[in-house]
């Protein structure tokens, strides 16, 4: 392991000379049912794509290609489905335009098909290939390449009645489902409170003694997630009472056993060596040691009581002498001196401790069995209520899509089976290791007819293709497991062979992604049998296709916590101590290393270029405080870094600032909230500015701010208050986003971005989307939205934007399917696990292999069988941790760096940590070299030509495009057209300027019975509108007929008076022009006035003569003024507006105007100002 080897590297001599195309073509052969075990980076997506292409093309023996609609490909993620569709369409589009043949080194259709089939294509294959793109692109709905949830959603939408759901079903988002579940829980609680003697109420009382509200909510959520298993268990055990009996059988206890009886049976002197314990007691009472004397006193009190009830009350104290709080046998019972004084006492104490341990275990067993039954009684009631609420809303949650589809397929409805069977001939399943039991059951149901000879299909033409990797099964929390993966492979293989069809298992282990240096380390990590257990049934062995390309794997020394001197409690803390935690050291070291690579132009020899930020992928175990330390360290070194791959909205400071703005509008007197808002990027107060306003103020902070010199801020906040009176949540926040603020002339969004960086854009956009979602299903009140947001646990998953030149940080789970030239694992010294969540304390039968589930609310209450099963689950969790390590290491293309840090609780590297596994592999690796600083490294030199194709594809988007300055500036607002005004409307600005309002005017001039006066005026108005167009001889008859019709609600004795008044006006010489037969009634008029506004009104009567125009307007006042000079300014302004508008059309004619008071049939000429 000399330095020369470290510098020169070692070439991988053991690389097998295999053509990967051989196995890939075998897997893509559509005449076989195939199960592919594809290690990381071995091209499984290419195999899937090739199989789809070969299904679409005719075979060499003349069998025609498959109808695209009869192919179903199920993927694990939408991104995976999108990538497959894109690859298929890109390939088919190329086939349309590629030449049939081409010189060496250039693409041609013949070469592409030859590569696909492994033999020269036929003329028919070439012809079909040319037309496939047009055929596929015009498919209704496109190729059936989708996630299994999308498939289930499409099936349910197709067969809603058969599935027993609403045809207009709605898919619930996470927060909506949580709200409905909370509603279901509350309803069950209400039911229990009303029926206090019911089993439901008793169950609630028992469970409430051992868990709090949050823990209970998590338990119920866990039960809802496992609803399918619970339903199956309750069906087998015939309800909750039967479930309790099954639980008791699992634990070998009686259904009627109670803890009190078990304890009492253990208290009698005959049940234990009471005399021997009395001897020990006497010795302890005489001991010089105070603790021993106290123990002797407790023992004496217990033994001296012969009443079993008194002993029962002391049972806990008595057990404490022998057992710990976790009910383990104590390591020591008393001091060494008393041990020597009492030969054999330790053995006696040990015997009694084990007896009490057994009693405690049985008591805990009885309690946990009863509590489990009680919990599931509540769970069943809540689940039933939850189903009902969803049904009333016509909604399904995420898991319902799978379960409802599974029920539909199990019913084997003739119509459903016919439609599905006629529609699917070939099924492809991607990421099979991540498929949970219910999803597997759907796949099994879909292909069940493939291997039966009944029905109308030629069964030999229907195939199943499954690809996965048990080593990458890391979604145990979604109930996927390698065991189920292997079980389904064996089941499907047996069914295919029984139907005398072709089945083949294909292993893909040649990696196109990773260099041999990294792969050799991966193989070494999983070389030991204990490391392969639960990871792979076979030896873990990889071969890199990237021969002769440089690679590197390196492990950094783990960082330890600094040792701190014990604090002197009497010393005053006058100085701030600079303390650097181990995690902070790791974060700073990582950032410094990346900065050094970028500054020095560190090369990637396999790509013949320098390392860029986008080449680096940092993978962490969980999103904890270390991630924030790492991001801060990278930013402090001016390294571009993307935000976290998943974030909780409410934990984002930008969202907290938005809610702070909303809270200010709801309660401006909240000083703390206003101070928070003032310090936000929207306003940007410094601490000194805030102090100057807040310190010594009288009254609220808002009052002090209004009295300060920061009037621009006051105006900005008053804009909030005005908007909050009328805006919906989306409108309110949209205004904040895109309106200038005190810290930015562009917008609030620009201010947030300038202060907090680009990372705020995703959460702020999602926040705006949530506001829209809220408005669609709730009353759009701001207070309700604020409460709804704070109760939600909304998360957003940030898609990896590899085009950006940034360092990416994400969890290993989130990195599934991704890769990068340089991968750093900085937190490998921690072990997985930790305290289990409340719902994880329910142990389900699929893991324990018991009849029924079992639950213990806390560690101290666990019984022996529960502990045994939990230990088995812990082993499964450790195996999944190893698989997670495999996924993490195989994300690397060229380089892998492994680091770790210790915490105060873990002052040494655990043997079961990733760091220990990898360090051990380095120590045993034949190519490992170690420098003088203890740094271990495995490397290979660049011996072949650089991969220019890969390098060029990565360099396309590296050049930053300088955005023009106008993109960062607020656009000039467009000139708004003037708002049309109607002169007769009292709320118009024209009348507000006139200094009065119509309501007061009407009160002044109309009688108390205003409704009757209005009706009378309307009738006169109508008569004056229709009579002028009739011949004079028919007018009175028409008027009488109209007044007698059902359209008029006027007393008959008033009809003659109205007719008299109407004709008195029409016959008046002064009114004759207004009622000329050529005059017009109800004349709409629109005009742009001199002040820029647009008039939009209706003139009651208009007559245009040779030299003049007459305008008449009807009014209903009962006491009109005697002189037009006394008219309301409101009416005068209206007539002036009409006159000005008419003057624009007839500038050379005189304008005459008048008002007709319909209540008194009085005509009043009005002098108008027509302007220029």
- Closest of 932, 929, 933, 930 to residue 10, by C-alpha: 929
Residue 401 has which token pair?
Answer: 């899509």
**How far apart are alpha carbons 426 and 33 in whole angstroms?**
10
- Closest of 325, 322, 343 to residue 333, by C-alpha: 322
Read off φ and ψ for residue 208, nearest 5 degrees. -65, -20
Query: What ranges make up the beta strands (E) of 337-383?
Result: none
Domain end among 393, 415, 444: 393
Residue 538 lies in a domain: no
- Which pLDDT does position 468 carry in this prediction? 93
Read off φ and ψ for residue 1074, nearest 5 degrees. -70, -30
**How far apart are alpha carbons 775 and 77 in whole angstroms?**
29
* Sequential DSSP letters for 724-783: HHH--HHHHHHHHHHS-BTTBSS-HHHHHHHHH-GGGHHHHHHHHHHHHHHHHHS---HH
Residue 574 lies in a domain: no
CATH code, domain carrying 1077 = 3.90.320.10
- Which pLDDT does position 446 carry in this prediction? 86
- Which pLDDT does position 963 carry in this prediction? 67
CATH code, domain carrying 714 = 1.10.486.10
Question: In this structure, are 613 and 668 located in the same domain?
Answer: no
- Which pLDDT does position 922 carry in this prediction? 94
Domain end among 372, 393, 414: 393
* Bridge partners, residue 616, by sequence: 822
* Sequential DSSP letters for 108-160: -HHHHHHHHHSSPPPHHHHHHHHHHHHHHHTSTT--EEEEHHHHHHHHHHHSH
For the chain, the helix, strand and coil percentages under 3-state DSSP, each to the nearest 5: 55, 10, 35
**How far apart are alpha carbons 242 and 831 in whole angstroms?**
40
Question: In this structure, are 208 and 146 located in the same domain?
Answer: no
Give CA separation, 81 vs 71, 420, 429, 434, 478, in Å. 14, 21, 11, 15, 20
Residue numbers of the chain with a pLDDT score lower than 70: 1-18, 412-414, 417, 420-422, 452-460, 564-579, 644-645, 798-803, 833-835, 948-963, 967-971, 976-979, 984-1013, 1116-1118, 1159-1161, 1171-1172
Residue 5 lies in a domain: no
Question: In this structure, are 942 and 824 located in the same domain?
Answer: yes
CATH code, domain carrying 883 = 3.40.50.300
Question: In this structure, are 257 and 333 located in the same domain?
Answer: yes
- Which pLDDT does position 1008 carry in this prediction? 40
Residue 252 has which token pair?
Answer: 């070998």
Domain that residue 343 falls in: 172-393
Question: In this structure, are 148 and 194 located in the same domain?
Answer: no
Residue 89 has which token pair?
Answer: 């369409």
* Sequential DSSP letters for 525-555: HT-SHHHHTTT-SS----EESSTT--EEEEE
Residue 858 lies in a domain: no
CB 1166 within 8 A of CB 1132: yes
- Which pLDDT does position 1093 carry in this prediction? 79
Question: In this structure, are 359 and 408 located in the same domain?
Answer: no
Number of domains in the chain: 5
Residue 746 has which token pair?
Answer: 């562009």
Question: In this structure, are 158 and 196 located in the same domain?
Answer: no
Residue 1079 lies in a domain: yes
Question: In this structure, are 1052 and 1066 located in the same domain?
Answer: yes
Question: In this structure, are 331 and 471 located in the same domain?
Answer: no
Interval 312-341: pLDDT, tens: 888 888 898 888 887 888 888 888 877 777
Give CA separation, 585 vs 63, 109, 589, in Å. 65, 56, 6
Domain end among 753, 781, 797: 797
Question: In this structure, are 672 and 633 located in the same domain?
Answer: no
Question: In this structure, are 374 and 464 located in the same domain?
Answer: no
Residue 668 lies in a domain: yes
Beta-carbon contacts of residue 819 (< 8 Å; ≥ 6 apart): 41, 513, 617, 891, 892, 893
Question: In this structure, are 1132 and 1082 located in the same domain?
Answer: yes
Residue 863 lies in a domain: no
Rounded to 10 deg, the angle between the 398-411 and 414-423 helix axes is 100
Residue 676 lies in a domain: yes
Q: Is 167 exposed, middle or buried (0-12, 13-18, 19+ CB in 10 A)?
A: exposed
């Amino acid at each position: 392991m000399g330095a020369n080897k470290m510098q020169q590297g070692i070439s991988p001599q053991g690389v097998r000379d295999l053509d990967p195309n051989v196995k890939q073509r075998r897997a893509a052969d559509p005449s076989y049912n195939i199960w592919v075990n594809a290690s990381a980076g071995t091209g499984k997506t290419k195999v899937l794509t090739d199989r789809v292409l070969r299904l679409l093309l005719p075979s060499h023996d003349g069998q025609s290609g498959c109808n695209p609609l009869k192919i179903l490909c199920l993927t694990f993620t939408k991104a995976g489905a999108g990538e497959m569709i894109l690859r298929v369409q890109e390939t088919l589009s190329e086939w349309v335009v590629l030449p049939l043949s081409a010189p060496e080194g250039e693409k041609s259709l013949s070469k592409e098909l030859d590569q696909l089939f492994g033999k020269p294509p036929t003329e028919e294959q070439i012809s079909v290939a040319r037309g496939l793109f047009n055929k596929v692109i015009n498919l209704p709905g496109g190729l059936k390449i989708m996630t299994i949830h999308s498939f289930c959603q499409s099936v349910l939408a197709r067969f809603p009645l058969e599935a027993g759901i609403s045809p207009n079903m709605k898919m619930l988002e996470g927060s909506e489902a949580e709200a409905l579940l909370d509603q279901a829980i509350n309803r069950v609680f209400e039911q229990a409170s009303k029926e206090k003697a019911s089993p439901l109420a008793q169950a609630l009382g028992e469970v409430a003694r051992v868990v709090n509200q949050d823990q209970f909510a998590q338990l119920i959520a866990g039960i809802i997630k496992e609803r399918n298993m619970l339903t199956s268990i309750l069906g087998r055990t015939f309800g909750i009472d039967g479930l309790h009996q099954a639980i008791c059988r699992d634990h070998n206890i009686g259904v009627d056993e109670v803890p009190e009886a078990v304890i009492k049976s253990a208290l009698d002197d005959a049940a234990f060596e009471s005399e021997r314990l009395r001897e020990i007691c006497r010795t302890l009472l005489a001991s010089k040691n105070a603790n021993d004397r106290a123990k002797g006193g407790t023992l004496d009190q217990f033994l001296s009581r012969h009443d079993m009830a008194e002993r029962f009350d002391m049972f806990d104290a008595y057990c404490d002498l022998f057992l710990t709080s976790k009910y383990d046998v104590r390591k020591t019972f008393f001091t060494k001196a008393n041990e020597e004084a009492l030969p054999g006492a330790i053995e006696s104490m040990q015997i009694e401790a084990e007896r009490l341990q057994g009693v405690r275990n049985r008591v805990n067993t009885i309690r946990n069995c009863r509590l489990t039954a009680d919990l599931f009684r509540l769970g069943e009631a809540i689940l039933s209520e939850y189903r009902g609420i969803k049904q009333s809303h016509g909604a399904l949650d995420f898991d319902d899509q799978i379960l409802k589809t599974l029920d539909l397929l199990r019913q084997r409805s003739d119509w459903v089976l016919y439609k599905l069977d006629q529609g699917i001939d070939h099924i492809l399943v991607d990421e099979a290791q991540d498929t949970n039991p219910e999803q597997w059951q759907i796949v099994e149901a879909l292909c069940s007819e493939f291997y039966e000879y009944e029905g109308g299909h030629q069964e030999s033409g229907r195939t199943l293709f499954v690809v996965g990797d048990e080593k990458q099964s890391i979604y145990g929390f979604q109930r996927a497991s390698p065991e189920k993966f292997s079980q389904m492979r064996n089941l499907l293989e047996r069914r295919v062979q029984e139907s005398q069809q072709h089945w083949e298992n294909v292993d893909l282990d040649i990696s196109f992604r990773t260099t041999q240096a990294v792969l050799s380390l991966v193989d070494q990590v999983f070389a030991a049998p204990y490391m392969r257990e639960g990871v792979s049934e076979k030896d873990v062995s990889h071969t890199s296709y990237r021969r002769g390309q440089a690679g590197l794997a390196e492990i950094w020394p783990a960082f330890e916590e600094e040792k701190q001197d014990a604090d002197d409690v009497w010393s005053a803390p006058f100085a701030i101590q600079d303390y650097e935690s181990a995690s902070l050291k790791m974060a700073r070291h990582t950032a410094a290393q990346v900065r050094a690579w970028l500054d020095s132009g560190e090369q990637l020899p396999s790509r013949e270029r320098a390392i860029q930020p986008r080449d680096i992928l940092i993978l962490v175990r969980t999103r904890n405080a270390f991630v924030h330390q790492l991001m801060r360290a990278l930013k402090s070194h001016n390294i571009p870094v993307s935000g976290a791959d998943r974030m909780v909205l409410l934990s984002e400071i930008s969202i907290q600032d938005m809610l702070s703005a909303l809270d200010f509008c709801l309660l401006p007197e909240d000083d703390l909230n206003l101070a928070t808002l003032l310090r936000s990027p929207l306003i940007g107060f410094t601490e000194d500015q805030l102090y100057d306003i807040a310190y010594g103020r009288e009254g609220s902070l808002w009052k002090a701010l209004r009295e300060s010199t920061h009037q621009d801020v006051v105006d900005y906040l008053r804009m909030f208050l005005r908007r909050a009176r009328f805006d919906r949540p989306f409108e309110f926040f949209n205004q904040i986003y895109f309106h200038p603020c005190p810290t930015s002339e562009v917008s609030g969004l620009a201010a947030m971005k300038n202060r907090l960086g680009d990372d705020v854009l995703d959460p702020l956009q999602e926040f705006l989307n949530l506001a829209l979602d809220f408005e669609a299903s709730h009353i759009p009140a701001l207070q309700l939205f604020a409460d709804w947001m704070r109760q939600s646990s909304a998360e957003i998953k940030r898609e990896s934007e590899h085009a950006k030149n940034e360092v990416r940080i994400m969890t290993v789970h989130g990195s599934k399917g991704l890769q990068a030239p340089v991968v750093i694992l900085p937190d490998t010294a921690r072990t997985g696990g930790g305290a289990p969540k409340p719902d994880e304390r329910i142990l389900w039968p699929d893991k324990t292999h018991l009849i029924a589930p079992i639950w213990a609310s806390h560690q101290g209450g666990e019984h022996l069988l529960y502990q045994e099963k939990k230990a088995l689950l812990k082993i499964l969790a450790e195996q999944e941790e190893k698989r997670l390590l495999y996924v993490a290491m195989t994300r690397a293309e060229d380089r892998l760096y492994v680091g770790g840090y210790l915490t105060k609780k873990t002052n040494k590297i655990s043997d079961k940590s990733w760091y220990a596994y990898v360090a051990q592999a380095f120590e045993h690796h034949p190519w490992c070299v170690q420098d003088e600083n203890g740094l271990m490294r495995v490397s290979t030199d660049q011996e072949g030509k650089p991969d220019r194709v890969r390098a060029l594809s990565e360099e396309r988007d590296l050049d930053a495009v300088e955005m023009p300055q106008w993109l960062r500036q607020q656009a000039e607002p467009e000139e708004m057209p003037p708002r049309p005004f109607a002169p007769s409307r009292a709320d118009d600005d024209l009348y507000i300027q006139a200094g009065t309002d119509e309501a007061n005017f009407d009160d002044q001039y109309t009688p108390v019975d205003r409704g009757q006066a209005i009706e009378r005026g309307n009738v006169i108005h109508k008569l004056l509108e229709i009579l002028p167009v009739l011949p004079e001889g028919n007018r009175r008859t028409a008027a009488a007929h109209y007044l007698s019709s059902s359209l008029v609600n006027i007393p008959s004795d008033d009809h003659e008076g109205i007719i008299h008044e109407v004709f008195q006006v029409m016959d008046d010489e002064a009114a004759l022009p207004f009622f000329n037969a050529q005059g017009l009634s109800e004349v709409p008029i629109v005009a742009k006035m001199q002040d820029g506004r647009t008039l939009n009104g209706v003139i009651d009567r208009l007559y245009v003569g040779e030299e003049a125009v007459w305008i008449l307007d009807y009014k209903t006042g009962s006491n009109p003024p005697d002189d037009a000079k006394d008219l309301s300014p409101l009416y005068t302004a209206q007539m002036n507006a009409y006159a000005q508008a008419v003057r624009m059309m007839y500038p050379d004619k005189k304008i005459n105007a008048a008002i007709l008071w319909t209540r008194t049939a009085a005509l009043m000429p009005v002098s108008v100002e027509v302007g220029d």
